[in-house]
Amino acid sequence: MADDTDTDELKALAAKAISQPLVTHIYTADPSAHVFDGKLYIYPSHDIDAGLPFDDDGGHFGMEDYHVLRMDSPTGEAVDCGLALHVKDVPWAQRQMWAPDAASKGGKYYLYFPAKRADGIFQIGVAVGARPEGPFVPEPQAIVGSYSIDPAVFGDDDGEHYMYFGGIWGGQLQKYRDNAYAASHGEPADGEPALGARVARMSADMKQFAEVPREVLILDETGQPLRAEDHDRRFFEASWMHKHQGRYYFSYSTGDTHLLCYAVGDNPYGPFTYQGTILTPVVGWTTHHSICAFQGRTYLFYHDSILSGGVTHLRSIKVAELHYDDHGKIRTLHPYGE
Ligand code: FUB
């Protein structure tokens, strides 16, 4: 939904909203939710007004740190566990701490985050903590071979972990082909296959890629790759992976058409076949989510800009229950009712 929604319209949408901000003392976005030790932990971006000028590359998203939130249940109070990591403590990073994620292995917790280096190139880093809420100690260098934004780390039932990442436009994914950067690269032309997110299995220590990242292919109902001009369905940013009844659900944002969509496959690498929309547009330009099961139910964590009166880089995270039909299809949610 465009961020020029007027005040009366905003009030009407707020009144019809299917859920309320989980916290209101800070702005939060891009919620990655996980269950650790029987509680819900949410790893969001911490939105601030950094006073930076708006640009098409999201330069106004000037976030500097992360706070982790904890909930006893999706209907409980969200507790801010405080500062978990600040950009000034990350040797390789200079600015723009965008959408993070976390994973747990062997009693340790790993916070994955994108940030820009001093030369303006995004990479993805990892920081390690002894508790789900941190604090986290960053590795001195970014993950070797990482690029772009929006890491989402999925732990499969066999113990392997996979990082999905990437985002076009301000996320710089269009500058990469075969994992190599060239400033001259751009989005594919209409008629060509759309750019895909990337996926790589993580090393045993969770700090590096164990393999060269592969492109995530999304197919249409005829088995053809989604094409670049298909803005209602093609990948833009905000990858997430979850499993339902043994199948792999890859979900993502379509960016400039403001949808959260999903595609289903038989293994973590895909290909995935496009299925439909999870969430219709929210107030604010961006849409970003995670999907997390808790005590037998499935929840969508997402954000919108209602609380800030529609300011696109001042967002608030929310949660709503998701439902599948008997065929494993996700029922579309409408953030302000149908
Ligand atoms: O929060 C900054 C960026 O906005 C994220 O990295 C994108 O997914 C979008 O939500």
Q: What is the ipTM of this complex?
A: 0.98
| Helix, strand, coil distribution of the chain in percent, nearest 5 | 5, 40, 50
pLDDT at 320 over 50: yes
What one-character DSSP code corresponds to residue 77? P
Mean pLDDT of 319-324: 98
What one-character DSSP code corresponds to residue 56? T
Amino acid in the structure at residue 197: A
Active site residues: 30, 237
Percent of the chain predicted with pLDDT > 90 = 96
pTM greater than 0.90 (yes/no) = yes
Q: Is the CB of 61 under 6 A from ligand 1?
A: yes
pLDDT at 6 over 90: no
Cα(253) to centroid of ligand 1, in Å? Answer: 10
Closest ligand 1 atom to Cα of 30: 10
Q: Is the CB of 99 under 6 A from ligand 1?
A: yes
Percent of the chain predicted with pLDDT > 70 = 99
pLDDT at 3 over 60: no
Largest CA distance in the chain: 53
Residue 282, pLDDT score = 98
Sheet holding 39-47, edge to edge: 27-36, 39-47, 65-71, 79-86
Residue 2, pLDDT score = 45
Cα(286) to centroid of ligand 1, in Å? Answer: 7
* Cα 329 from Cα 127, distance rounded (Å): 35
pLDDT digits (tens, 9 = 90+) for 81-92: 999 999 999 999
Cα(98) to centroid of ligand 1, in Å? Answer: 6
Closest ligand 1 atom to Cα of 150: 6
Cα(265) to centroid of ligand 1, in Å? Answer: 25
pLDDT digits (tens, 9 = 90+) for 147-198: 999 999 999 999 999 999 999 999 999 999 999 999 999 999 999 999 999 9
pLDDT digits (tens, 9 = 90+) for 211-262: 999 999 999 999 999 999 999 999 999 999 999 999 999 999 999 999 999 9
Mean pLDDT of 64-72: 98
Residue 4, pLDDT score = 54
Tokens 């949610």 locate to: 333
* Cα 64 from Cα 61, distance rounded (Å): 9
240 burial level (CB within 10 Å; 0-12, 13-18, 19+): buried
Q: Is the CB of 30 under 6 A from ligand 1?
A: yes
pLDDT digits (tens, 9 = 90+) for 16-34: 999 999 999 999 999 999 9
Q: Is the CB of 96 under 6 A from ligand 1?
A: no
pLDDT digits (tens, 9 = 90+) for 108-154: 999 999 999 999 999 999 999 999 999 999 999 999 999 999 999 99
Q: Is the CB of 286 under 6 A from ligand 1?
A: yes
Q: Is the CB of 304 under 6 A from ligand 1?
A: no
Mean pLDDT of the chain: 97
Residue with CA closest to ligand 1 atom 4? 286
Cα(97) to centroid of ligand 1, in Å? Answer: 10
Residue 5, pLDDT score = 63
Among 237, 239, 290, 308, name the best residue to mutate to test ligand 1's pocket (greatest count of ligand atoms within 8 A of Cβ): 237
Q: Which secondary structure element, helix H or strand E, spans residue 191, and what is its range?
A: none
* Cα 110 from Cα 83, distance rounded (Å): 15
| Angle, CA of 95, 101 and 106, to the nearest 5° | 125
Tokens 């113990």 locate to: 159
